Structure 1
């Protein structure tokens, strides 16, 4: 769930875990890109507070994940090939990993924004989006591949192409809904960690990261911000 320039945020419902707020010495950063040192400090502060909340939410919602399945590893990457991104994945050891690139951190204005991105990526894993997307991908490939083969006139290459397109459609089918779900849960995680989710979602007002186009992976920023504000209001 890559975060293209600016941001991709996620949220979904869950019971709140309260962690007392602590002061943020650099709550508001300059409009221009922050220094690497300031960005890293912001990441470490936010990660330190989001991680225990995300882990408790994960354990509560997914008791079948076991110890490693909810043992988050938050990492900052300086690899220029990743661009301005944040994403989550599952490591070979079974632990969920959230990676935030330094270049994206440098355009975040405050700790609330960094915390919201971290909460959003963690929420994807809590909501089983990787597993659900993979299942949909396999189903789409099977359905279209089977239909192509059943025609009796399709070549092996055509069947493979149909299966590939089916996998693509299957993975995209609910991608926008996954973003809304992650956004909703991120609101709760961020707030429970002592951050302001509305302030954290401010980049949606600055950057357009989605579209209503057919098969677009992310919904329009305005739609996401409206839903985030509604969840936060509740």
Structure 2
């Protein structure tokens, strides 16, 4: 495992990781600003150390689960940190040009978690996407949707632009066809990974209570937060 630890420490030092619970005391000669800067740096270092600990603890468990559940898959996760400022909290899984699985966290997400369990659950969830082959399954669904809808458009006598538009729409619909199921599958396996790494997945899933609820929209990419919390609870109860 390799990841961008120096970038994490440098960038986190410049952001406010935890909201200040009480107003900073007032001091003469600008000492308030100095105290505030020192406080932010201390909180940033705590958040960075927590991230390091979670990654070092969860990553080998995720790799072992990957090797156990797959055959011939690349299970050497690369953990990276997106240090761009002013980004909304986000984490995602992808693969690099060599097929190595990559899990990326941005600073806003690292700063927004309330405990190590939440961070561990997010990492478990993202690594689960790779183990379950969701990227490849999404690509296959997108291709199938594009072929079907563009074929129907061609049969209906659509012109080249109409066929191209149908292809794009079919790809989008196909990619989202099972996305909610994929998220719930990743939540379930992510729970297993989180618990086996020694963290509390149910406590970690409390992260869902603080993010916008997508509801149950038609062709939405994510299931309702309540459904995600419930599958985490059910999975954890069986472990």
Alignment match of 1:175 (pick from 147, 159, 179): 179
Q: Matches of 1:52 and 1:189 in 2, distance apart?
A: 10
What is the Cα deviation at residue 225 of structure 1? 0.5
SS at match of 2:228: helix
Contact 1:210–1:216 at 8 Å: present in 2 too? yes
Q: Tell me which residue corresponds to 2:236.
A: 232
Q: For each residue in 1:154-200, what CA deviation from the matched residue of structure 2 results, as whole angstroms up to 9, or x when unmatched?
A: 10000010111000100010000000000000110001000000111
Q: Distance in 2 between the 1:111 and 1:73 partners? A: 20
* Correspondent of 1:73 among 74, 78, 85: 78
Corresponding position: 1:128 with 2:133: yes
RCO comparison, higher one (Cα < 8 Å, 6+): 1
- CA contact 1:50–1:193 (8 Å) conserved in 2: yes
Count of paired positions: 202
The residue aligned with 2:53 is: 45
Larger proportion of helix: 2
CA RMSD of aligned residues (A): 1.7
CA distance in 1, matches of 2:46, 2:101: 26
- From 101, 104, 108, the counterpart of 2:109: 104
Structure 2 unaligned segments of length 5 or more: list them: 1-16, 22-39
Instruction: Tell me the SS of whatever aligns to 2:94.
Output: strand
Post-superposition offset of 1:81: 6.5
TM norm structure 2: 0.80
Unaligned runs of 5+ in 1: 1-28
Determine which of 73, 88, 95 is the counterpart of 1:90: 95
